[in-house]
Amino acid sequence: MSFLDYLLGRRRNTAEVAKERLQIILAHEHSSRNAPDYLPALQQEILAVVAKYIRIDLEDIRVNLEREGDYEVLELNIPLSEDSKGTTIRATTRR
Partner 1 sequence: MITSGKGGVGKTTTSASFAVGLALRGHKTAVVDFDIGLRNLDLIMGCERRVVYDFVSVINEDARLNQALIRDKRVDHLYVLPASQTRDKDVLTLEGVDRVFRELQQDLGFEYIVCDSPAGIEKGARMALYFADEAIVVTNPEISSVRDSDRILGILSAKSRRAVESMDPVKSHLLVTRYNPERVELGEMLSVEHVKDFLGIPVIGVVPESESVLNASNVGTPVILDEKSQAGVAYSDMVDRFLGENRPLRFVTSERRGILRRLFGS
- Residue 1, SS3? coil
Per CB under 8 A, does 4 bind partner 1?
yes
Measure the CA–CA gap between 76 and 88, rounded to whole angstroms. Answer: 6
Identity at 79, one-letter amino acid code: P
Per CB under 8 A, does 14 bind partner 1?
yes
> Whole-number minimum distance, CB 26 to partner 1, in Å?
6
Residue number with CB closer to partner 1 (17 or 49): 17
Residue number with CB closer to partner 1 (7 or 58): 7
Strands (E), 1-86: 62-68, 71-78
How far CA 16 is from CA of 10, 19, 32, 51, in Å, comes to: 13, 5, 25, 41
Size of the site for partner 1 (CB under 8 A): 21
Per CB under 8 A, does 3 bind partner 1?
yes
Site residues (vs partner 1, CB under 8 A)? 1-5, 7, 13-16, 18-19, 21-23, 25-26, 29-30, 33-34
